[in-house]
Amino acid sequence: MKKVGILTSGGDCQGLNAAIRGVVKSLYKKFGNDVEIYGIHDGYRGLIEGSFQPMRPDDFSGILTLGGTILGTSRQPYKTIRAVDANSGDKVKKMKETYGKIGLDCLVILGGNGTHKTANLLSQEGLHIVTLPKTIDNDVWNTDMTFGFSSAAEIATHVIDCIHTTATSHGRIFIVEVMGHKVGWLTLQAGLAGGADVILIPEIPYRMDAIVAALQRRSESGKRFSILAVAEGAVSSDEARMSKKEFKSEREKMKYPSISYRLADEIGKRTGHEIRVTVPGHFQRGGSPCTYDRVLATRFGTAASELIFQEKYGYMVALKNGYIIPVPLSDVAGRLKSVPGNCEIVRSAKDIGISFGCE
């Protein structure tokens, strides 16, 4: 009897249930009645606290289109995973104990960057681990795409699409703040697809003079409005030169709820224009997965089941050049896939006149 545990960790996103379904249905097809599936509740927290349940085939029916995760999720920062405290004790030891208590042959983990650091640690501790890359940020190393990204990009693009009509009607400057603290893939994709005039991402520090100049050029050419797609992690050129400690201190002192509101204030003072800010926030992570994510999550899921069938552990399934392949967890953990400042998609955006606030 093959015993397989599944958990989802970190922020939720579209496609988690589709991926779970792909793993499980494929396992049932391969092993028939000789496989038992155990759902771990609320990510690594459930593994630490020993919160799990055996699951039946019916539990995975009707979840392909369902957003969120039927298993629940939580954040367990990697930097504290080794910390021993009065509440949770030795977290790594407890996770290993839960794995052994169930008698698992393998643990399937769905998550992003932080999740993969812990997954790699558990693999190094001797547990049989297979992972799937999920995140709306598309920043997991060694995979061309993560599931959740395309769905979130569709939502962010739709927001920008809708802003066009009201911006045109009132002749205003609008800022749409898109999720993405450390990388700008989502803002770049939605900004380009939605026809933003300015795109600001963490990888390309902006200068206020360049932003104002871009907005003035539009105004002088007769355009009544402008739209900025701004990543929540966008930084100015001055901030980019700061140390991490200095940057954190500056942001803690910032009187605005987010970078977009600071930009709105600064642009308004510089241009005299009326500025409006729209923050779709967690809308971007919610709802049903798009067609692409349903297919990608299913492909990842079936590939993960094949690794389990072959007893090939310590790998993440990844999309590389159109193919699903296994990549070692050690090649993924601790690495971030950022937007290269001169990549093809950035060049394409610049070629059609989009400003990145650095010109």
Question: What span, in angstroms and rounded, lies between the C-alpha atoms of 185 and 177?
Answer: 13
Q: What angle do CA 74, 79, 80 make, to 5 degrees?
A: 70
Eight-state DSSP code of residue 134: B
Q: Which residues pair with 131 in a beta bridge?
A: 109, 316
Residue of 117, 12, 124, 26 whose CA lies nearest to 71: 12
Residue linked to tokens 């989009």: 354
Residue of 134, 127, 107, 133 whose CA lies nearest to 39: 107
Contacts of 156 (CB under 8 A, 6+ apart): 176, 178, 179, 186, 187, 189, 190, 194, 229, 280, 284
- Start-to-end CA distance of the chain, whole Å, equals 62
The size of the chain, in residues, is: 359
Marked catalytic residue, from 137, 139, 197, 293: 137
Number of H helices, E strands in the chain: 12, 11
Indicate if 265 belongs to the active site: no
SS3 104: coil
Phi, psi of 129 (to 5 degrees): -125, 135
Question: What span, in angstroms and rounded, lies between the C-alpha atoms of 25 and 30?
Answer: 9
Phi, psi of 16 (to 5 degrees): -60, -45
Question: What span, in angstroms and rounded, lies between the C-alpha atoms of 334 and 329?
Answer: 10
Residues annotated catalytic, as ranges: 137
